[in-house]
Amino acid sequence: NNSDQNTFLSVLNEAQKAPVLHKDGPLMVIAGAGSGKTRVLTYRIAHLMRQEVDPFNILALTFTNKAAREMKKRIAELVGGSEAKNLWMGTFHSVFARLLRFDGDRLGYPSNFTIYDTQDSQRLISSIIREMGLDKDIYKYKQIQQRISSYKNSLITVKAYFQNPELLEADAMSKRPRLGEIYQNYVDRCFKAGAMDFDDLLLRTNELLTRFPDVLMKYQDRFRYILVDEYQDTNHSQYLIVRALADRYQNICVVGDDAQSIYSFRGANIDNILNFQRDYDDVGMYRLEQNYRSTKNIVNAANSIIANNKNQLEKVVWTANSEGNPIRIHRSPTDAEEGRYVASSIFEHKMQQQLPNGSFAVLYRTNSQSRAIEDALRKRDIPYRIYGGLSFYQRKEIKDVLAYLRLVINPGDEEALKRVINYPARGIGQATVDKLVVAANQTGKTVFEVMESLGSTDIGIHAGGRRRLEDFVTMIKSYQVLDATADAFTLAEHVAKKSGLLQEFKKDGTPEGIARMENIEELLNGIKDFVEGQKEIADARGDISEFLEDVALATDLDMDKGDDDRVALMTIHLAKGLEFPYVYIVGMEEDLFPSAMSMNTRSELEEERRLFYVALTRAETQAYLTYTQNRYRWGKLIDAEPSRFLQEIDEKYIENLTPEDSYQFRPMLNAAIFGEVDKRNLRREKPVAGKPPGQNQPTEKQLRRLRKIRPQLSQPSGSEGVSLEGLKEGSLVDHSRFGKGTVLKIEGIGNDKKAEIRFERGDVKKLLLRFAKLQIL
Ligand code: ATP
Ligand code: MG
């Protein structure tokens, strides 16, 4: 009824209501960060359900599975009941993996196909290169894997590759004339192993929908309403799937922001937005302009940054939120110092505003930057979680257990087999495995099938070796027998014990071995949880194949159950769509951000700038931008220059926390002042090319750049000592890093004058006044 409708939609503004209430037909919402695009998608789905659209007929594609889970939960609250469970919702990869489980047999895949992760793909490619006798310095397996991946995402099949003279020539020119053969072998081997890699999940879906009109019809009819979040980052393969599925009913709703397109390096295609109006008739176009996430300062600063991009759709973003603090820019001498600054700033905010750890995020351009931040957070006992590093499921011991389980489901899975056939060691050598692989390639059988038929065919393996291989086959088969009746947990526990894996780590006895055992335990707990959860779902059995499906496509964000309170550390790419009250963007330096690899063309630089726009617009209350003067990169200490992006922010919205006078700050002195000996810094002092130790002064170039950023930097400010005249025992002071404190004692004279201060957070420090960033209160 009407009043019900009104309360339901009362949490939306008028501009948001329009796309939610848009009747059937295609629509697109293009709007800036934080304007409620995801919220619109959520409410549109809830609204459809309230209009009696069957959730089985709704497909929603999100950027992470976590986003899908949260959206589902929200929708369940909005519509009540348990119907929301029946929505098809998830990432492109997880949704279409599911579709391929149902209909992949049309393409010759078993329904229990394995999903190869990037590491599996790389291993396979590396062994193909070896088997083909190619030079591994020319045929670099990682590069080749990326190459194959990009072919697949552009729907260039092996056949299409060989028919394309340009590609053939390009690879011949780069001295890799046999790349096509590698591609061919790789595809054949995956297929024979009953495996799909990540790219196959999209490529094969496309193939399925193109080659089999009846399958296409079935899913067109099923997915009468299709919704896509973060549409600006869909690649060509994804675009084609959506277009095919939506073709019949045309009930397609996409939301996105061209200014947040940050995955073109992975094939995302901004044209998908631009072409939308061409692809469909009568497209409803909607714009949202009000940002609800961030303060005025953040919104305006972000607008001033993105205005530097030539290539963009015109857009307005404003907010009725409060002004907030300016964006704070902070410079540190080194990356270790930067980490310490971030940790102490988080600490101070936590204390002063009584905030949970989850209010903070530290964002960086590359994963390697996390280490310095981690070290600093650990020293301060601030719990954190890293997203996108080595995820739990990528750890060696976890992959070992999972490999056994994968074999149970699909013994043809060659990468899983090779991983554990001799782990724990059971006397099966590489030479034996090579013979198996050769035999498999010659006969078209899988390696496992070759092992099963050793009794009848001689492939030159001696009796002892044969017996050990047969034992392995028997072991896997016994697990399969158990799997027929047991749930995932029972099977996994049995396998961890009987395969000898747990024993192996226990025997090891080192702290690493113990940590590995604990991780396996954690895995078993996770499986138990999963089994419990599956019980709620009608046709689920809670068996291991269901679990493996879940895990194969899990991202780190999915691991986050939100049950513990931690600071989030992640790359900017991963942060898309998320929001945090306090955001620290670290490493704002030339060659790092923008990345050295992305400054060759305007379009690359503009993508970096969009990345910066994404980063800044994650912040709700306060944003910090930090950079360093010196940073260790590739094992060398290099002079760092502040990022050009810092200059691009309108000065009105920023506050510089580190005026020029603190340039004297040197790692050696730092150790002396704070009593914290950072061995890395001590070691690092020497190798600065052409400079005596202790003279890490900024270069002329750096200073020029800095002056450009903040004109006031060029004015020499008075030395700190002057402002500290009057400092005596009992004075109340405020330190930029340590907060408020009381002076206990003053000693020394001139340049050596020091103050011993007890800070409110509890510790006592001796500070050299010449450098201390103190204010008398
Ligand atoms: P992004 O571009 O970063 O993905 P978005 O456009 O998807 O952002 P949302 O995440 O949907 O934006 O919304 C941003 C924040 O604003 C969320 O916390 C959301 O709950 C809140 N919000 C959106 N619309 C409203 C509204 N009408 N009233 C109150 N809060 C709102
Ligand atoms: Mg969003």
Could you say which of 16, 37, 446, 685 is catalytic? 37
Q: Which of 8, 262, 292, 294 to mutate to test the pocket of ligand 1 (most atoms within 8 A of CB)?
A: 292
- Radius of gyration, CA atoms only, the chain: 29
Q: 37: CA distance to ligand 1 center in Å?
A: 7
Please give the structure tokens belonging to residue 153: 């995402």
Could you say which of 16, 38, 295, 446 is catalytic? 38
Could you say which of 197, 230, 335, 608 is catalytic? 230
Nearest to 486 by CA among 526, 531, 529: 531
Rounded to an integer, what distance in angstroms lies between the CA atom of residue 416 and that of residue 194?
Answer: 12
Kindly tell me if the per-residue pLDDT of 88 is higher than 90. Answer: yes
Which pLDDT tens digit goes with each residue over 728-745?
A: 888 898 877 677 889 998
Could you say which of 16, 114, 260, 312 is catalytic? 260
Q: Is the CB of 293 under 6 A from ligand 1?
A: yes
User: Among this protein's residues, is 396 annotated catalytic?
Assistant: no
Contact 330, 628 (CB under 8 A): no
758 beta partners: 742, 764
Q: Return the pLDDT at 777.
A: 83
Going by pLDDT thresholds of 50, 70 and 90, the confidence category of residue 670 is very low
Q: Binding site annotation covers 34?
A: yes
Average pLDDT of the residues in 28-46: 96
Going by pLDDT thresholds of 50, 70 and 90, the confidence category of residue 391 is low
Q: 48: CA distance to ligand 1 center in Å?
A: 20
Q: Binding site annotation covers 686?
A: no
User: Among this protein's residues, is 137 annotated catalytic?
Assistant: no
Q: Binding site annotation covers 595?
A: no
Strand order in the sheet with 567-571: 384-386, 567-571, 360-364, 580-585, 619-628, 327-332, 654-656
Kindly tell me if the per-residue pLDDT of 523 is higher than 70. Answer: yes
Would you tell me how many other CB atoms lie within 10 Å of the CB of residue 351?
Answer: 12
- Where residue 52 falls (left for φ over 0; alpha for ψ -120 to 50; beta otherwise) is left
Q: Is the CB of 577 under 6 A from ligand 1?
A: yes
Q: Return the pLDDT at 519.
A: 82
Kindly tell me if the per-residue pLDDT of 398 is higher than 60. Answer: yes
Contacts of 484 (CB under 8 A, 6+ apart): none
Kindly tell me if the per-residue pLDDT of 667 is higher than 60. Answer: no
Highest mean pLDDT among 124-138, 623-637, 731-745: 124-138
Rounded to an integer, what distance in angstroms lies between the CA atom of residue 763 and that of residue 712?
Answer: 34
Which pLDDT tens digit goes with each residue over 179-204?
A: 999 999 999 999 999 999 999 999 99
User: Among this protein's residues, is 695 annotated catalytic?
Assistant: no
Average pLDDT, the chain: 86
Rounded to an integer, what distance in angstroms lies between the CA atom of residue 329 and that of residue 517?
Answer: 44
ipTM exceeds 0.95: yes
Helix (H, G, I), strand (E, B) or coil at 639: strand
Q: Which of 38, 229, 611 to mutate to test the pocket of ligand 1 (most atoms within 8 A of CB)?
A: 38
Contact 569, 385 (CB under 8 A): yes
Average pLDDT of the residues in 14-21: 96
Greater model confidence, 43 or 512 = 43
Rounded to an integer, what distance in angstroms lies between the CA atom of residue 749 and that of residue 747?
Answer: 7
Contact 333, 665 (CB under 8 A): yes
C-alpha distance from residue 406 to each of 217, 395, 403, 436, 678 (Å): 32, 16, 5, 19, 46
Going by pLDDT thresholds of 50, 70 and 90, the confidence category of residue 596 is confident
Q: Binding site annotation covers 31?
A: yes
Average pLDDT of the residues in 282-306: 96
Going by pLDDT thresholds of 50, 70 and 90, the confidence category of residue 698 is very low
Going by pLDDT thresholds of 50, 70 and 90, the confidence category of residue 433 is very high
Q: 260: CA distance to ligand 1 center in Å?
A: 15
Q: 19: CA distance to ligand 1 center in Å?
A: 14
Q: Return the pLDDT at 583.
A: 98
Kindly tell me if the per-residue pLDDT of 725 is higher than 80. Answer: no
Q: Which of 16, 39, 77, 257 to mutate to test the pocket of ligand 1 (most atoms within 8 A of CB)?
A: 39
Q: Which atom of ligand 1 is nearest to the CA of 42?
A: 11
3-class SS letters over 608-637 = HHHHHHHHHCCEEEEEEEEEECEEEECCEE
Contact 600, 648 (CB under 8 A): no
Tell me, yes or no, if the pTM score tops 0.90: no
Q: 248: CA distance to ligand 1 center in Å?
A: 31
Q: Is the CB of 37 under 6 A from ligand 1?
A: yes
